């Protein structure tokens, strides 16, 4: 027994020593490493700064404003901006705490986020009318923005957007808490370990199909724990966001385009004991309901999943072509 306990002690000391060496190496690495520079600019909106990346000339056409999904960096919408910037002005931004933007203590409910975006656009000198594009949970935010500032929105674009009722409609189990995991990862990031891992094995948060120079900037996302803590705060507030979006449900004849991914998480449905065919059909029904928020809504499906629908160049090209048609429609609208 004494020999066994001694072996366990030495194994514990060995593991502890290895962990200390990893943390020391990570801290030294980060000391001499430099974060990739943020594209765009940091705009002071009062108590903190938000990152805004605008491309394309200012003109009298509507400006496309992209609202990302939960924790999704604005860099991931590269192909949408790249294909449209020669035809219209495109604005991407990161919500508080997300990658380049400053952390904040403001609530992450839908109205606060919408008002912060509005302030950002004003401070940056951007002018309405806006075509708002929302991916995933970003689709919920643009609904609330449009309700708050109806005279400033010319059209809505939903990119595989969340439906306010999707968890209930698909009979999904309660969302597991990610507090412990994200809090731990944030501490690990503060110690420099995630940055070391990223450089050794490639960016954890790279986007499928994005250019190398864009994904290289992902090496700076986990430079510290700020980003992961912001993702945690957004996740904790998501139920409030979904509830608020339910009340923004009638947009008259406002032009709407809905792009739905036709590749669904079949394995996840099986894991929850849900029939994948039924869930896919119900999901497409909900995507049609997003188009039906207006009498001028249209639904299109794209061969891709929840993320590749916009990170793959060929998929983004389909979306961009339809946005250009939408731009022409709103410009000729009396």
Strand, helix or coil for residue 51:
strand
Other beta carbons within 10 Å of 206? 20
Residue 302 in tokens? 């794209």
pLDDT digits (tens, 9 = 90+) for 251-297: 999 999 999 998 876 667 777 788 888 888 999 999 999 999 999 99
Q: Residue 57 in contact with residue 90, Cβ under 8 Å?
A: no
**DSSP-assigned letter for residue 98:** S
**DSSP-assigned letter for residue 203:** -
Does the residue 193 lie in any domain?
no
Q: Would the pTM of this model clear 0.85, i.e. be above it?
A: yes
Does the residue 22 lie in any domain?
no
Other beta carbons within 10 Å of 256? 22
Does the residue 184 lie in any domain?
no
Q: How many H-runs (helices) and E-runs (strands) does the chain carry?
A: 14, 8
How far apart (Å, rounded) are the C-alpha atoms in residues 92 and 310? 14
Residue 100 in tokens? 């380049």
Does the residue 78 lie in any domain?
yes
Mean pLDDT check: name the lowest of 5-19, 186-200, 315-329: 5-19
The mean per-residue pLDDT over the stretch 206-222 comes to 89
What values do phi and psi take at 243, rounded to 5? -65, -45
Q: 81-102 burial string, b = 16+ CB within 10 Å, else e?
A: bbbbeebbbbbbbbbbbbbbbb
Does the residue 252 lie in any domain?
yes
How far apart (Å, rounded) are the C-alpha atoms in residues 91 and 221? 20
CA dihedral (207, 211, 213, 217) in degrees, to 10, reads -10
Q: Which domain holds residue 240?
A: 41-177+224-332
Q: How confident is the model at residue 38 (pLDDT cuts 50, 70, 90)?
A: confident
How far apart (Å, rounded) are the C-alpha atoms in residues 317 and 78? 11
Q: What is the CATH number of the domain that holds 166?
A: 3.40.50.1820
Does the residue 5 lie in any domain?
no
Sheet holding 256-261, edge to edge: 41-44, 49-55, 90-94, 63-67, 130-135, 153-159, 256-261, 297-302
Residue 25 in tokens? 């190496």
pLDDT higher than 50, residue 47: yes
pLDDT digits (tens, 9 = 90+) for 120-163: 999 999 999 999 999 999 999 999 999 999 999 999 999 999 99
Which is more confident, 242 or 186?
242
Does the residue 69 lie in any domain?
yes
pLDDT digits (tens, 9 = 90+) for 165-192: 988 998 887 776 678 888 888 877 777 7
How many folded domains does the chain comprise? Answer: 1
Query: Rounded to 5 degrees, what angle do the CA atoms 186, 29, 73 make?
Result: 45
Q: What is the pLDDT of residue 290?
A: 97
Three-state SS across 253-284? Answer: CCCEEEEEECCCCHHHHHHCCCCHHHHHHHHH
Does the residue 18 lie in any domain?
no
Strand, helix or coil for residue 37:
coil
Q: What is the pLDDT of residue 20?
A: 54
């Amino acid at each position: 027994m004494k020999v066994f306990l001694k072996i366990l002690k030495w194994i514990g000391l060995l593991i502890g020593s290895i962990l200390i060496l990893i943390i020391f190496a990570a801290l030294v690495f980060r000391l001499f490493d430099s974060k990739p520079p943020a594209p765009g600019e940091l705009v002071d909106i009062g108590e903190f700064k938000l990152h805004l990346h605008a491309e394309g000339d200012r003109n009298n056409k509507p400006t496309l404003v992209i609202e990302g999904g939960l924790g999704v960096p604005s860099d991931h919408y590269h192909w949408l901006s790249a294909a449209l910037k020669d035809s219209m002005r495109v604005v991407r931004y990161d919500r508080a705490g997300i990658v380049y933007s400053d952390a904040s203590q403001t609530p992450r409910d839908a109205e606060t986020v919408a008002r912060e975006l509005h302030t950002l656009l004003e401070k940056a000198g951007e002018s309405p009318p806006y075509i708002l594009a929302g991916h995933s949970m970003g689709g919920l935010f643009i609904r609330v923005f449009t309700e708050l500032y109806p005279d400033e929105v010319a059209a809505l674009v939903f990119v595989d957007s969340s439906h306010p009722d999707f968890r209930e409609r698909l009979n999904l189990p309660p969302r597991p808490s990610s507090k412990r995991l994200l809090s731990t990862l944030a501490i690990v990031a503060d110690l420099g370990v995630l940055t070391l891992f990223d450089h050794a094995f490639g960016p954890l948060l790279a986007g499928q199909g994005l250019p190398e120079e864009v994904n290289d900037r992902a090496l700076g996302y986990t430079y510290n724990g700020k980003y992961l803590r912001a993702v945690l705060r957004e996740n904790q507030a998501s139920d409030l966001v979904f509830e608020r979006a339910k009340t923004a449900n009638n947009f008259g004849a406002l032009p709407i385009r809905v792009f739905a991914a036709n590749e669904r998480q079949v394995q996840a449905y099986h894991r929850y004991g849900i029939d994948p065919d039924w869930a896919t059909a119900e999901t497409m029904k909900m995507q049609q309901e997003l188009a039906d928020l207006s009498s001028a809504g249209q639904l299109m499906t794209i061969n891709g999943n929840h993320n590749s629908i916009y990170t793959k160049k060929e998929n983004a090209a389909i979306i961009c072509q339809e946005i250009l048609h939408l731009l022409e429609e709103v410009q000729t609208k009396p």
